[in-house]
A and B are shown apart, each in its own frame.
Chain A
Amino acid sequence: MSIWYTLCELLPWEMLQWDFMKNALLALLLMAPLFGILSTMIVTGRMSFFSDALGHSAFTGIAIGSILGLTAPLWAAVGFSILFALLFSWVRSRSNQAADTLIGVFSSTAVALGIFVATLGGGSFTKYNKYLIGDILSVTRSEIGMLALVLLGILVFWVLFSNRLSLMAIHPQLASSRGFPVGLSQTLFTAAIAVVVTLSISSVGLLILNSLLVLPAASARNVARNLREYHLFSVVFALIAGVGGLTVSYYLGSSAGAAISLLLALVFGITFAFRKVRG
């Protein structure tokens, strides 16, 4: 950490004189590749709304955790999100309803349960606001350490499983004909999204979290011609928007999460126009 602090002081950014900004920048530099990488598969696998639903379930997990008097409701949320994700996958594989219908069922149930639990016995909802909006500036050193570990875990997972996951997302018949263990890879991927979503919820906020999981890859798809470019652009866009959004929010005094999302939307607009030029 001290190396990072020294490094920050060498940079000419005025905002980096504050420790909380140094922490926030480091957290974003870890989160952006996480979102960039996961985003590629979420978009290819048409799971945008699923990741949104996971965010809602994470909130429910936090509410349940704090009602039960747990000191770290975040871990309760991680557990609940994984449970929610696995239950959803299980129902999906046994139901003939469309995936978006099932996502609607799960998502709305999770939100209702979260609000129900949070307001049980006349409890105030205000203390949960930080999970809705998020605050990257209050990120702690231990949270940063956790993010670094998760990033490492996701990178290892990606090296081992991304070929299978890509093939499953683009051509399920070919994947199953090649005997790939479809179920295992998908379950692990779902659990990975659940963990990342839950751990970022207090920094980024539930309401705009999903834009970070969809927009980097959606923008990259506008211009990428192969998987390498797809991953590269997605991570680069997430990094640019992450650092840019933090800077903008510092000078304008707005929420960092919202600024990052808006920048990503701008990137999408630019790549969309560029796609047209390239034909």
Chain B
Amino acid sequence: MRFKPHGGSCGHACCLRVENLSVQIGSDQILKDVNLHVHCGEMVALIGPNGAGKSTFLKAVLGQREYQGVIAFSQPGQRSKKPRIGYVPQSPAFDPGDPVSVADLFACCMSRRPAFLGLSKSMRELVLECLERVHGTDLIDKRVGTLSGGELQRVLLALALEPLPNILILDEPLSGVDIEGMENLMDMLDEIRREYDLSILMTTHDFSMLRRYADQVVLIDHTVLIQGSPDTVLDSEEFSRTFHMKGGRA
């Protein structure tokens, strides 16, 4: 993937700019002419029916899919650079029987030293530092298979935040998480984007949190149907036509 220099069409200093993005797989047009700006510190939610191309869009931004169009990133002081992206993949629960602790998971992802030898002292400190960001230091020795949906998402979030990214991308972070866990997670994301001034781009099927947390909601079904503030999108004709309901009540 090549991030092209910022052309200046966005007034905001720090911006992930997606212009005329199209993705074709075989003869299927998955995405067509998608335009989107995500500014630093902003939380943008991508919604749409199943098969609308949400995950494909995220993969294009991550550079895991071929695309036509422009995906560019700019921030103050630097004309153009490849943004550092933290990614929380859509995640099934772990096998409850796996003898893998949260510390092991971090070591497997981040360390060259084999995890089966145990964690070095400095690595363990780094893991604790990472978990501190998601208020989860008490999870370090838990087996991954015993984590609740919310705890699992927090651990994956902590992994995605090391090293600190410019853009944080989450694929369906709220699925499999109970109501209390959802609020916790959204509060945490809110706190993280303010503290580290990073952009958050997430897909979700849960609309109940959007009015409270999202700055921008984008409804896509192969192309952008409507985008704007949560109120604008959730009260729109396009939204109720797509989901056959009104007012963002899931």
Residues of chain A at the chain B interface (Cβ within 8 Å):
40, 44, 158-159, 162-164, 166-167, 170-171, 173-174, 177-178, 220-221, 224-231
13 additional A-B pairs beyond A177-B89, A228-B118, beta carbons within 8 Å, are A162-B116, A163-B108, A163-B112, A163-B114, A167-B105, A167-B109, A171-B94, A173-B92, A177-B62, A220-B99, A226-B104, A227-B116, A230-B99
Docked-complex contact A225 and B99, CB < 8 angstroms: yes
Docked-complex contact B91 and A171, CB < 8 angstroms: yes
Known: A170-B94, A226-B103, A230-B116. A164 touches B108 (CB 8 A): yes
Q: In the complex, how many angstroms separate the beta carbon of A181 from the nearest chain B beta carbon?
A: 14
Tally of contacts, chain A with chain B, CB under 8 A:
80
- Of the candidates A44, A221, A226, A231, the one having the most CB atoms from chain B within 10 angstroms of its own CB is A226
User: Does chain A have a CB within 8 A of B25?
Assistant: no
Contact of B156 among A166, A174, A221, A225 (CB under 8 A): A174
Number of interface residues of B (CB under 8 A): 31
Known: A166-B104, A167-B108. A226 touches B156 (CB 8 A): no
Closest 10 CB pairs of A and B: A224-B99, A226-B101, A173-B89, A230-B99, A231-B116, A167-B108, A163-B108, A228-B118, A227-B104, A227-B115
Docked-complex contact A225 and B62, CB < 8 angstroms: no
Docked-complex contact A221 and B117, CB < 8 angstroms: no
Residues of A within 8 A of B62 (CB): 177
Q: Could you mark each residue 109-133 of chain B with 1 if its beta carbon is under 8 Å from any beta carbon of chain A, else 0?
A: 1011011111000000000000000
Q: Could you mark each residue 78-114 of chain B with 1 if its beta carbon is under 8 Å from any beta carbon of chain A, else 0?
A: 0000000001011110110111110111011101101
Docked-complex contact A226 and B91, CB < 8 angstroms: no
Q: Give CA–CA (A225, B90) in the complex, Å.
A: 25
Q: In the complex, how many angstroms separate the beta carbon of B123 from the nearest chain A beta carbon?
A: 12
Contact of B143 among A164, A220, A225 (CB under 8 A): A225
Known: A170-B94, A177-B87. A227 touches B101 (CB 8 A): yes
Contact of A221 among B87, B97, B105 (CB under 8 A): B97
Residues of A within 8 A of B168 (CB): none
Q: Give CA–CA (A40, B95) in the complex, Å.
A: 14
Q: Give CA–CA (A166, B115) in the complex, Å.
A: 9
The residue of chain A having its C-beta at the shortest distance from the C-beta of B104 within the complex is A227
Residues of B within 8 A of A224 (CB): 99
Residues of A within 8 A of B90 (CB): 173
User: Does chain A have a CB within 8 A of B191?
Assistant: no
Could you give 7 example pairs across A and B, Cβ below 8 Å? A158-B114, A162-B115, A163-B114, A164-B108, A170-B105, A227-B101, A231-B116
Residues of A within 8 A of B97 (CB): 221
Residues of A within 8 A of B159 (CB): 174
User: Does chain A have a CB within 8 A of B40?
Assistant: no
Residues of B within 8 A of A225 (CB): 99, 101, 141, 143
Contact of A227 among B94, B100, B109 (CB under 8 A): B100
Known: A170-B94, A173-B90. A178 touches B116 (CB 8 A): no
Docked-complex contact B108 and A226, CB < 8 angstroms: no
Docked-complex contact A228 and B89, CB < 8 angstroms: no
Q: Give CA–CA (A231, B114) in the complex, Å.
A: 11
User: Does chain A have a CB within 8 A of B220?
Assistant: no
Contact of B100 among A158, A177, A226 (CB under 8 A): A226
The residue of chain B having its C-beta at the shortest distance from the C-beta of A233 within the complex is B99
Docked-complex contact B87 and A163, CB < 8 angstroms: no
Contact of B141 among A40, A162, A226 (CB under 8 A): A226
The residue of chain A having its C-beta at the shortest distance from the C-beta of B59 within the complex is A177
Residues of B within 8 A of A220 (CB): 99
User: Does chain A have a CB within 8 A of B234?
Assistant: no
Q: Give CA–CA (A174, B110) in the complex, Å.
A: 12
